[in-house]
Structure 1
Amino acid sequence: MTASNFRLARLAGPILFVCLLAAAPSGLLAEEAAEAEAERLDLRTAILLALDNNLGLAVERYAPQIAREQVTIARSEFEPTLTGTVRSRVSQQSSAASTLDGAAGPRSEVSDARIGVSQKIDTGAVVSVSTGMVRQETNSTFSTLNPAYDADVSLSVRQPLLQGFGAAVNRANRQRAEIGVDRADYLFDAEVLNVVLNTELAYYRLVFAREQLTVRRLGLQLAERLLEEARIRRETGVATSLDVLQAEVGVANQRSALLLAEQAVSDAEDALLALIGQFDFDRAIGTVEALLPEPVRPDVEASFRRARDRQPEFLATLALVDQLELDLVAARNGRLPSLSLNGALGYSGRDGTSRGAWGEIPDREGYNWQVDLALSVPWGMREGRARLRQAEASLEREEMRLRRIEQDILVEVRSRVRTVETAMERVQIAALATSLSEREYELELARFENGLSTSRLVLDSQRALDEARVSELQVGIDLQEAIARLHRLEGTSLERFTIANR
């Protein structure tokens, strides 16, 4: 491996390509020229397209939005509530019950209106302020004010003292919703990283498929050239019909390999388009190449720290633990009896006009107040205790799962690092194997041209060279895939391509 850029396209066999360039037909050159003229698609652009167009990611984008709406719902519990009522009623009696009714057929008309506002505060108390006006008119001769107007202003407070008391329990639902937003964002980030990884893998596999296709095309050209030479040698009496037949079989095998390579290219293009195109399978993918800096040997400890600090799944589990801790706070409070202190204070005024009734309120001559305690204790309190045990078990289970995830991350990091290191060594070994196969093929071809070898041996040597080149391509792709999977595990895939999280 060189100290310069690590490029998988180098593995396609430049020496073999130079040998066949002069003999290559115009159709092959025209096809490669058309591909070169197509729009180049680099890996970063492919990832950006996937992040914008991937259908699975588009579905997952709704989860953070839904979580944010849940925060609004939780906060609305502590927003003021405006209330208002307007009523009117008439009572007409057919006859008087006594002379004290003041009329032969007592009749009364009552209209009242009330408006108020109430709000829950962090202590759990509900504070209400209201005001109202009542107009009463009667045909009774004993009524001193007719019509009579009653106005009042009142303040009431209901404060839980056991269940529902305290800022911690009353803020829990709101804080849980806020943590839910973070958790939804983490899970969405995980889907983003999955899309990035899948796009990387699809891109690398397309690179491999196209480079393999190049190798198969060049292999077919070699086989056809060898067949032509075998036929010429048979005409001159140097080769036999068996040599020609072996060369024909070699051409047929190369055509079969070429067909499979073309199918692999089409499948790889469809797989990449499915990630970046949203059903746009007729879109042409231009030149692709895995041109990346030479990989640096990873460090287990550094990779583990990054994975533990940045992996979205781990962070989402941490957020879930925080939510369950809030659930435990609420469950501990929920097992307490319901005891509330209620208080109310109101001032009122009465007059023959509405203005006069309002005017009497500041004098505070008419007033009322009330204080009471209300207690409610469920028989046996089994529900509250069961919910507490349920919350404790859920929290302990998730904490245990968090420790297991942390352990799994360490094991997976160690495995991924070893995979990268192994792939780096395999790349060097595969390059040596390809170099050896190239020399063996060149030697066998020279012996054939000098009448010292047979077409079968040349075909075997060519087949070994093709397989060595394909193997080297595959090993290079394996290395890039291993690096991509390690970055996914670390949660650093976006930073690797300098892409901001969207």
Structure 2
Amino acid sequence: MKTSPLSRAMKTSPLSRALLVLAIASASTQVNAQDSIVQDQSAEITFVNAPNMALNQQQLIQAIILRNGQALLSQTQQQVAAGNINRERSLLQPELFAEARYTDTERQSTTSDRLSNITSAFGTIDEQNTDVEAGVRVPVATGAELVLSWSGNQREGNLVEAASNGDSNTEAVASLNVSIRQPLLQGIGNRIANARIKEAELQHQRAEYDFHDQLLRVSSSALRAYWRMYLSSQFIEIQQSALDNARNIMQETQNQVNAGRQPRTALLEAEARVIESRAALYNEEQRWRDIQSELKTLLNLSHDAYAMLTFTPIDSPETTPYGASQNFDAYAEDVLSQWPGYHSALLARDIQRLQTNRAVEENRNQLDLVAGYRTSALETRIGDAVSESYATTYPTWYVGVEFSMPLGANLKRSGDIGSAEARQRQAEIELRDIEVSVVNELRTRLHQLEVAHNDLQLAARNQQLYGELYAAERSNYTLGRGRLRDLYEREDDRIEAQQRHAESLALYQLALVAIRLAEGSLFERYGVQINKTLSQG
């Protein structure tokens, strides 16, 4: 790419400006697979702080997926969602528990102690207690919680010694315990826990679709920058050619002034033309540098570390008409069936339905059946008590029900369910909005493609005609039969036609990227496998 000064500000047709505003939402072309970019074994592009790095669209998309900050943030959201699944699944996970406590008590005897025959002689009661319990809590499919545990207590002190007439100062109690709490209304069948797990799984699927959607959007932004970089490069070449031509004309004008075939004012006009062309070239080069900076930002490349890095687009623009489907309804339905944003909205609706059902379940009245059974063994040593705790000589069991409900209107129930139903309606409205948006976007982008391709054909013919007119005028001027002003007017027309053709090429590529973004087919077009990329990430 040439790097001299700049040319004058470009002229664009009203149609081209309208298309540029419309299509600056995307871009695309034919992929020329080349090995000009250094790659490591993980397919990560290695960027070198050097100018003129050849880059095609496929390589750009791969680098964007692996490096773009927004894409990486969206990918970490998948990891957050995966962690939430495990957190919710833990609600149905058996739990091992154990606790132990040692207590050393020394207290004055109370009036009640002194009235007792055993403790009447004690001014101070000295006692040590060791309490231990270990077991498991097991959630069961009915929604009940089953607790199986072993507990023991060892007590020693002067009170125990007095009660045993000095035979021992230690007393040990051990027992096996079984208890169960079975919900009969709220939480029966683990409906709340299962709903939370299902919601987490759907949220994870939605995060995957959101990640795919985010990758599509950042990739399309990169491709738009790619084709604006191409357009800027073409404008620089056009303006560089115009500057070279202006210098040649100035030299030829100098010769004609010296020969007396042109007035001296013609030389002043030729010099002014050189200055205008140089200024226009400077402007185009600055626009090119801005796009280079935009690409570095999208690729998460620090300007300090890659100040010298510049990119050179190597893909050729596509010029063939886009093969649109003749049956638009079937085409739109097929696009919806695979569009990640639509799938994300479907999952959002399903999640809100689950949350509505869960709000109903969580606000039922509380009615639980509770039951338990335990053994008991009393010995002087803890080891003996443990051995005897398996016997059923001294059992204790209980059974009962527990009930609770709000007094008056259940404000929590009405608030939770009302909010959940409102969020469900929001999700359904959003889903319908996306359906309409996708279909309308497809129609708009297809029409944009048709207009852009027609404009491209017209611009190509326009460039050819003005090129021939300029060549004829230049020949007349060389022969001394034309005016310098007429030559400059023809050159202006030729430059504008060249710019319009380059702009039409870029606009058609932008329109192609726009339709592929709308279809969700951007990655398929460039052979990028998202699942493989995710596994690398």
Structure 1 length-normalised TM: 0.87
3-state secondary structure, aligned to 1:498: coil
Alignment of 1:334-413 (within 5 A): 334-379=362-407, 380-413=409-442
3-state secondary structure, aligned to 1:366: coil
Q: Which amino acid aligns with 2:281?
A: L
In 1, the alpha carbon distance for the partners of 2:330 and 2:162 equals 93
**Is contact 2:149-2:178 (8 Å) kept?**
yes
3-state secondary structure, aligned to 1:131: strand
Q: Which residue of 2 aligns with 1:285?
A: 310
**Alpha-carbon offset, residue 473 of structure 1:** 0.5
In 2, the alpha carbon distance for the partners of 1:43 and 1:52 equals 14
Q: Which residue of 1 aligns with 2:240?
A: 217
3-state secondary structure, aligned to 2:375: strand
3-state secondary structure, aligned to 2:301: coil
In 1, the alpha carbon distance for the partners of 2:212 and 2:29 equals 29
Higher relative contact order by CA 8 Å / sep ≥ 6: 1 or 2?
2
Q: Which residue of 1 aligns with 2:102?
A: 87
CA 1:60 to 1:283, structure 2 compared with 1: closer, same or farther past 3 Å? farther
In 2, the alpha carbon distance for the partners of 1:78 and 1:143 equals 51
1:163 aligns with 2:186: yes
In 2, the alpha carbon distance for the partners of 1:7 and 1:497 equals 9
Q: Which amino acid aligns with 1:177?
A: A
**Alpha-carbon offset, residue 452 of structure 1:** 2.8
Q: Which residue of 2 aligns with 1:296?
A: 322
Q: Which residue of 1 aligns with 2:501?
A: 472
In 1, the alpha carbon distance for the partners of 2:246 and 2:335 equals 50
**Alpha-carbon offset, residue 160 of structure 1:** 1.2
Alignment of 1:33-72 (within 5 A): 38-72=52-86
CA 1:437 to 1:270, structure 2 compared with 1: closer, same or farther past 3 Å? same
**Is contact 2:152-2:173 (8 Å) kept?**
yes
Q: Which residue of 1 aligns with 2:37?
A: none
In 2, the alpha carbon distance for the partners of 1:225 and 1:92 equals 113
Q: Which amino acid aligns with 2:65?
A: L
Q: Which residue of 2 aligns with 1:419?
A: 448
**Is contact 2:92-2:193 (8 Å) kept?**
no
Alignment of 1:176-195 (within 5 A): 176-195=199-218
Q: Which residue of 2 aligns with 1:262?
A: 285
In 1, the alpha carbon distance for the partners of 2:349 and 2:219 equals 28
**Alpha-carbon offset, residue 169 of structure 1:** 2.4
Deviates more, 1:287-296 or 1:75-84: 287-296
1:439 aligns with 2:444: no
**Is contact 1:113-1:132 (8 Å) kept?**
yes
In 2, the alpha carbon distance for the partners of 1:110 and 1:222 equals 104
> Identity of counterpart residues, as a percentage?
22
1:100-159 deviation digits (Å, cap 9, x = unpaired)? 427622665443321122133443321111111222341234679843332210111111
In 2, the alpha carbon distance for the partners of 1:351 and 1:244 equals 122
In 1, the alpha carbon distance for the partners of 2:187 and 2:98 equals 23
**Is contact 2:88-2:193 (8 Å) kept?**
no
Alignment of 1:116-127 (within 5 A): 116-127=135-146
Pick aligned residue for 1:329 from 326, 337, 357: 357
In 2, the alpha carbon distance for the partners of 1:98 and 1:165 equals 52
Pick aligned residue for 2:134 from 86, 96, 115: 115
**Alpha-carbon offset, residue 289 of structure 1:** 2.9
In 2, the alpha carbon distance for the partners of 1:224 and 1:363 equals 112
Q: Which amino acid aligns with 1:284?
A: L
Q: Which amino acid aligns with 2:274?
A: V
Q: Which amino acid aligns with 1:218?
A: S
Alignment of 1:485-500 (within 5 A): 485-500=514-529
In 2, the alpha carbon distance for the partners of 1:145 and 1:495 equals 87
**Is contact 1:124-1:159 (8 Å) kept?**
yes
In 2, the alpha carbon distance for the partners of 1:102 and 1:236 equals 139
1:370-405 deviation digits (Å, cap 9, x = unpaired)? 111000011121211221122112112211221111
Q: Which amino acid aligns with 1:200?
A: L
Structure 2: stretches of 5+ with no match in the other structure: 1-27, 32-49
**Is contact 2:173-2:377 (8 Å) kept?**
yes
3-state secondary structure, aligned to 1:291: coil
Alignment of 1:140-155 (within 5 A): 140-141=162-163, 146=168, 147-155=170-178
Higher percent of residues as helix:
1
CA 1:252 to 1:333, structure 2 compared with 1: closer, same or farther past 3 Å? same
Q: Which residue of 2 aligns with 1:21?
A: none
In 1, the alpha carbon distance for the partners of 2:116 and 2:275 equals 124
3-state secondary structure, aligned to 1:101: coil
Deviates more, 1:69-78 or 1:353-362: 353-362
Number of aligned positions between the proteins: 471
Q: Which amino acid aligns with 2:315?
A: A
Structure 1: stretches of 5+ with no match in the other structure: 9-35
In 2, the alpha carbon distance for the partners of 1:405 and 1:69 equals 29
In 1, the alpha carbon distance for the partners of 2:164 and 2:260 equals 145
Deviates more, 1:80-89 or 1:491-500: 80-89
**Is contact 1:107-1:139 (8 Å) kept?**
no
3-state secondary structure, aligned to 1:363: coil
In 1, the alpha carbon distance for the partners of 2:193 and 2:29 equals 58
Deviates more, 1:42-51 or 1:219-228: 42-51
**Is contact 2:317-2:506 (8 Å) kept?**
no
**Is contact 2:191-2:361 (8 Å) kept?**
no
